[in-house]
Structure formats: structure tokens, C-alpha cells
Amino acid sequence: MPAIGVLTLELHIPESHSLKDKRSVVKGLKDRLRRRFNVSVAEIGGHDTWQRSVIAAVTVAHERPHAEKVLQAVENDAANLLGGMLADTGIEWMD
């Protein structure tokens, strides 16, 4: 049975003063994660707020340890890129 993991990244972007500012940060993050880790990425929350966004990155693997490794790498990369803008993270597993 394949392992499906969902990493949720909650962002707080204090420098953002418009949706355009926020979209620039969010789009850059989504593009980077897709390119580097071959994960599916979408904004799943905070669509109409200037300084908040919730991003989900999803991976499917043949074994859970591999999926865990991928999602941990995604989380570490996002933390390095975003610094203090990364407010919270969480991983869920689909059974």
C-alpha cells in the first residue's frame, strides 16, 4: 500500500501589505518546492488575507519512510527559505 503524506506549512508574512505582495512569496515557495522535491503544492488557506497563508505539500511513495524523508526535506527547505515567516508545520498521513 502506498504512503500518502501531507505537510502543512502555515506562513505569517508581516512585510506583506497587499495580496500581490503575499502572492509573490507564496508563488516563489510553491514553485521552489515543486521543482526541488517533485511534490504537489497548493495554497489551502488564507486566500483573502494579506499576511497569512497555509500551504500543503503532498507526496506519494511506495513506503512511508521514504515519504517521511521527502516531507522532512521539504519542511527543512521551507524553514531555511522563510525563516521567521514559517509560523507552524504539521504532517498528516492518509490511510
pLDDT, tens digit, for every residue of 23-79? 999 999 999 999 999 999 999 999 989 999 999 999 999 999 999 999 999 999 999
pTM beyond 0.85:
yes
Strands, E assignment, 1-95: 3-12, 40-45, 52-61, 86-94
Domain residue ranges of the chain, discontinuous segments joined by + = 3-83
Class of the CATH-defined domain 3-83: alpha beta
